[in-house]
Chains A and B, each alone.
Chain A
């Protein structure tokens, strides 16, 4: 029943690769952003907060188009990238950037929830005992918000797997190179003779999402119990 072509296997592998990379690249930034939003007060914090959450409400197509205008050959950064010999648009890197931007707010939100649940007195205690801020971050804040970090990462991973609107604009649809699962399904879905192939890939997509969400739940439960 599950009839996958070699191009479909490529799409599955690529989707996982893109989602994992997007997650790994975003994680350090996500932690910094969440830290700033939770523990620091500064001018323009509201604007900063809005900017972080913007991709959550913007249509992904808008994000894709803006990225294209930014990174494309005739884009604002185009000449700079070309001089450096970097090609982003229509490569898998573009798919990673698109997924990272779209999934970033989910990551930051989850980490922030984790950080906000930390008892402030613990942080103050570590500081009064003489720990510098980075020590507090590494030994108190990060371990105590691990739950949020894992939850955010798995959510972002799942969201990246589904990224379509921004990806199709910046990464194009190149089988074996940038064609992720949603793009492959889209291509099948516009062809009258590919119903079964589309369905097979849908089954795969559902399976991967279920595994990701299952892990998310199990990890979350384990951590809660330990705490």
Chain B
């Protein structure tokens, strides 16, 4: 008797399982943490005109997202904050190569509080704790470490660097005053309420911040994902990007 119940339950479970994973109108996004606000607005706008579409948004460090996709996490569209992690997935044939294009551009700044007398990279040694994205998986941290290295101050700052799991965590550390400053993107700094931009990191010290985006192999088979992907390249999307401070060229 008990066994029969269990079997029926199991059957039901097996029947429901594929329905849950393949339910129509779902679009899974794996998007760099720095795009959180702009992406939320873009999905809201798209959902407004496409009521059937439901977005599953996964924001995080681009390297961590790439690793998730590599390990089979559901993802239809991948937007990275650097070329490296897009290339990583392309090499493993996990993204639809023909769809790869540039979504937006950004630049690196240093945020904190003005009373510490820090106005350029050479002043950073005055600070105790500096937040930076973990360069192993967070592009903002990779760019920041590149800039520090090229400025010749990476060793000097070595043990002052708090490694954050994504760029938004960096910003949060600075906002709460738990660190004396943080390397974030210009667009993140615009979202800050307490911390101010102390200086822009000179562009000649690091690679240009480019966000490549692509449909994943599974995403290229999802009509809603493809429609949203086209929307991301539209004039309307570019207007939203511009509003949030991203460069679109």
Contacts and interface: CB of A to CB of B under 8 A. Distances in A.
Contacts of B177: 72-74
A61 B172 CA distance: 16
B178 A73 contact: yes
Nearest to A68: B178
The secondary structure that dominates the B interface is mixed
A72 B178 contact: yes
> Which of B128, B136, B164 is packed against the most chain A CB atoms within 10 Å?
B136
A190 B61 contact: yes
B67 A173 contact: no
A176 B157 CA distance: 12
A95 to B, nearest CB: 13
A175 B134 CA distance: 10
A35 interface: no
Given A72-B178, A73-B178, A90-B178, A191 B162 contact: no
Contacts of B88: 192-193
A190 B162 contact: no
Contact of A190 (B134, B158, B161, B173): B134
A145 B241 CA distance: 66
A30 B64 CA distance: 40
Contact of B134 (A72, A173, A193): A173
A90 B136 contact: no
Contacts of A176: 158-159
Nearest to A192: B67
Interface string B158-194: 1111111100000001001111000000000000000
Contacts of A173: 134, 162-165
B193 to A, nearest CB: 13
B162 A90 contact: yes
A201 to B, nearest CB: 13
B225 interface: no
Contact of A191 (B63, B129, B178): B63
Contacts of B160: 174
A220 B163 CA distance: 40
B44 interface: no
B137 interface: yes
Nearest to A10: B159
A139 interface: no
A179 interface: yes
B63 A192 contact: yes
A38 interface: no
Interface string A159-173: 000000000000011
A192 B162 contact: no
A174 B178 CA distance: 13
A190 B129 contact: no
Nearest to B179: A90
Contact of A72 (B128, B136, B165, B176): B176
A105 to B, nearest CB: 27
B109 interface: no
B161 A194 contact: no
B136 A172 contact: no
Contact of B176 (A73, A187, A190): A73
Contacts of B128: 87
Given A174-B161, A175-B161, A192 B134 contact: no
Contacts of A73: 176-178
B157 to A, nearest CB: 11
Nearest to B89: A192
Nearest to B61: A190
Nearest to A194: B136
9 contacts: A74-B177, A90-B178, A172-B129, A174-B162, A187-B134, A190-B60, A190-B64, A191-B67, A192-B88
The 5 A-B pairs at the shortest CB distance, nearest first, are namely A191-B136, A190-B64, A191-B137, A173-B163, A172-B162
Interface of B: 60-61, 63-64, 66-67, 70, 85, 88, 128-129, 134, 136-137, 158-165, 173, 176-179
Given A74-B176, A173-B163, A190-B67, 11 more contacts: A72-B176, A72-B178, A172-B163, A173-B164, A174-B161, A174-B163, A175-B161, A187-B134, A190-B63, A191-B136, A193-B136
